[in-house]
């Protein structure tokens, strides 16, 4: 009885408080034309090349510009800092640069900035964090003040996609003098917002860039100020939203988002993302669970998990079951010949018994996020007799275990850096690289071909065949894509995109 009355009391308090004007703080923000946003992780460095957290990507696109822009609505490429581009040969991309663009420190943008930035980050000695974003660049040459050529190490058809994603341009002179460290303390870019204050580990304040160039693909920003605070505990973020201390948060847990819909001062928006989830199985000779080397065991695992129900119940609206290890809109993500496993625990038990494990066996599941989904998978496995222990930790720790061949199963998620091409997803896990724990030579060869031939039809064919083998061999269980839930003050106008990138330059107060 106690609990029901506490809830009633709390509900009452909440109702009264909201009615009595907790909306007031949000009103004030509206008048000051500010958005207060919070994120749970602190970027190790705001320089986009020196962090690998989502908030880093978000800040990157507010403060900096890329050469090319991908319209999130049509997936069409548009010129941003570049105005036109063409492949001179299959390893040389020539770009014409926009004139009249100014960096936040007043310096005019030119070819030197592109040349310096890309040559700097492509040099492995400078240790930019995500090497795969830049290691396809061999060198960059200046043709004239507004024309450059990027020479790739090998034919790399996905280059355009990378130039529209993680690759931003720094002002050469400033970057040369300040370096990544100075860029973190006092960031300078050319984007719609400039950083006016960076209290490292605590907050970053962005101010509208009044000199942002017109007729680019990003419109002129409307909101005057964006205050980004770092609040580690999601629950605290929700409390801030409920009490009117924040205007915008993302990555709310689905159940909580559902419950927050009832709060009149808030709006909850959800959007499916490009981040896919899959259960990866170690099948090489060094696998810590030799049982997984038996195809029947792997197929049993694939049959044991009810992906449909997990997607619907745990991930939420906007989540789709996937049948290959890639996001369906990615170029080359052709799952038409992939083998699909239905939820069938009886069959799973049969397969296990056939493989000689009628009473199941024990192994470990490594995971680093969406712990409730790991937990659900463990329970599904338990139902067919496989007893999995959860090893939950930071991504880096999990990766370390995988690479040391100490992880038999990994609950992986992959966002492809929002790159809409399969070269950014499937090969990461199946092309014989460090995170590949099945290492099938045939698959490696097919992915190699898909990544390097230029003819689109040949690329697709190669990838299709790779997906077929991966699923037939059940090297992993493809699950679904994740959904991001955003909570915002009711009067904030914004749109959610699959790339999990809030575009503050598009937002405005109603």
Q: Which residues between 313 and 342 bind other proteins (CB under 8 A)?
A: 313-314
Sign of CA dihedral 51, 54, 59, 60: positive
Pick from 153, 219, 220, 232: which binds other proteins (CB under 8 A)?
Answer: 232
Residue with tokens 């030197």: 112
Site for other proteins in 50-69 (CB under 8 A): 50, 52
Position 243 contacts other proteins (CB under 8 A) = yes
Provide the minimum distance between the beta carbon of 73 and other proteins in the complex, in angstroms, as a whole number. 33
Helix axes 295-304, 371-383, angle to 10 degrees: 120
The residues in 183-212 that bind other proteins, with binding defined as CB under 8 A, are: 199-202
Cite the beta strand spans of 337-463 per DSSP E.
362-367, 387-392, 409-414
Residue 249 pairs in a beta bridge with 38, 487
Task: Verify binding: residue 346, other proteins, rule CB under 8 A.
Answer: no
Distance of alpha carbon 11 from alpha carbon 7, whole angstroms = 6
Taking contact as CB under 8 A, which single stretch among the options 11-19, 105-113, 268-276, 417-425 is the one that binds other proteins? 11-19
Nearer to other proteins, 194 or 399 (CB): 399
Q: Which stretch binds other proteins (CB under 8 A): 38-46, 324-332, 437-445, 476-484?
A: 38-46
Whose Cβ is closer to other proteins: residue 89's or residue 233's?
233
Q: Would you say 43 or 318 has its CB closer to other proteins?
A: 43
Q: Identify which of residues 75 and 372 has a Cβ nearer to other proteins in the complex.
A: 372
* Binding test (CB under 8 A) with other proteins, winner from 33, 75, 235, 284: 235
Nearer to other proteins, 17 or 84 (CB): 17
Among 224, 400, 445, 448, binds other proteins (CB under 8 A): 400
N-terminal to C-terminal alpha carbon distance within the chain = 43
Minimum CB distance to other proteins smaller for 201 or for 441: 201
C-alpha to C-alpha distance for 196 and 30, rounded to whole angstroms: 20
Q: Does 490 bind other proteins (CB under 8 A)?
A: no
Question: What distances in angstroms separate CA 291 from CA 191, 230, 283, 298, one per listed residue?
Answer: 52, 44, 9, 9
Smaller CB separation from other proteins, 14 or 461:
14
Q: Left (φ > 0), alpha (ψ -120 to 50) or beta: where does 78 sit?
A: beta
Distance CA 399, CA 367 (A): 10
Q: By the 8 A CB rule, do 340 and 479 touch?
A: no
Q: What does the alpha-carbon distance between residue 172 and residue 477 come to, in Å, rounded to a whole number?
A: 45
The correct pick among 77, 87, 230, 361 for binding other proteins (CB under 8 A) is 230
Q: Is 284 a residue that touches other proteins (CB under 8 A)?
A: no
Number of H helices and E strands in the chain, helices first, is 16, 18
Does 396 bind other proteins (CB under 8 A)? Our answer is yes
Can you tell me the distance from the alpha carbon of 478 to that of 276, in angstroms, rounded to the nearest whole number? 8
> Binding mask 245-274 vs other proteins (x if CB under 8 A, - otherwise)?
x-------x-xx--xx--------------
Tell me which residues in 88-147 interact with other proteins (CB under 8 A).
127, 129, 131
């Amino acid at each position: 009885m106690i609990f029901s009355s506490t809830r009633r009391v709390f509900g009452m308090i909440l109702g009264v408080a909201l009615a009595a004007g907790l909306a007031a703080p949000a009103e004030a923000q509206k008048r000051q034309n500010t958005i207060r946003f919070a994120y749970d992780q602190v970027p190790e460095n705001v320089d986009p090349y020196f962090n690998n957290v989502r908030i880093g990507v978000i800040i990157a696109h507010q403060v900096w510009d890329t050469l090319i822009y991908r319209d999130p609505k049509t997936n069409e490429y548009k010129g941003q800092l570049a105005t036109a581009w063409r492949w001179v040969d299959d390893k040389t991309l020539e770009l014409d640069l926009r004139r009249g663009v100014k960096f936040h420190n007043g310096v005019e943008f030119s070819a030197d900035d592109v040349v310096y930035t890309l040559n700097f980050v492509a040099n492995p000695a400078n240790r930019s964090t995500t090497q795969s974003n830049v290691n396809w660049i061999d060198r960059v040459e200046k043709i004239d003040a507004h024309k450059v050529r990027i020479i790739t190490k090998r034919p790399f058809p996905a280059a355009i996609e990378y130039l529209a994603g993680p690759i931003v341009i720094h002002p050469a002179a400033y970057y040369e003098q300040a370096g990544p460290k100075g860029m973190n303390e006092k960031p300078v870019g050319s984007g719609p917002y400039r950083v006016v204050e960076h209290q490292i580990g605590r907050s970053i304040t962005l101010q509208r860039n009044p000199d942002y160039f017109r007729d680019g693909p990003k419109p002129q920003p409307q909101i005057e100020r964006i205050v980004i605070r770092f609040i580690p505990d999601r629950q605290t973020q929700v409390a801030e939203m409920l009490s009117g201390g924040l205007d915008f948060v993302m990555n709310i847990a689905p159940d909580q988002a559902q419950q927050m819909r009832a709060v009149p001062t808030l709006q909850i928006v959800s959007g499916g993302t490009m981040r896919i989830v899959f259960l990866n199985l170690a099948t090489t000779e060094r696998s810590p669970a030799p049982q997984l080397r038996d195809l029947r065991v792997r197929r049993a695992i694939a049959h044991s998990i009810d992906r449909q129900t997990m997607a619907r119940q745990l991930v939420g609206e906007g989540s789709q079951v996937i049948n290959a290890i890639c996001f369906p809109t990615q170029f080359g993500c052709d799952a038409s010949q992939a083998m699909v496993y239905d939820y069938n625990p009886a069959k799973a038990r049969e397969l296990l018994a056939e493989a000689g494990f009628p009473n199941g066996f024990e192994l470990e599941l490594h995971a680093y996020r969406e712990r409730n989904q790991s937990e659900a998978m463990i329970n599904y496995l338990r139902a067919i007799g496989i007893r999995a222990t959860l090893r939950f930790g930071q991504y880096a720790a999990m990766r370390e275990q995988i690479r040391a061949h100490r992880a038999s199963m990994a609950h992986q998620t992959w966002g492809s850096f929002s790159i809409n091409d399969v070269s950014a997803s499937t090969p990461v896990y199946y092309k014989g690289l460090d995170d590949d724990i099945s290492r099938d030579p045939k698959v490696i060869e097919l992915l190699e071909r898909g990544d390097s031939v230029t003819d689109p039809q040949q690329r697709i064919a190669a990838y299709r065949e790779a997906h077929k083998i991966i699923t037939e061999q059940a090297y992993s269980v493809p699950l679904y894509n994740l959904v991001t839930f955003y909570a915002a003050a009711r009067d904030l106008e914004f749109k959610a995109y699959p790339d999990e990138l809030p575009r503050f330059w598009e937002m405005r107060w109603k």
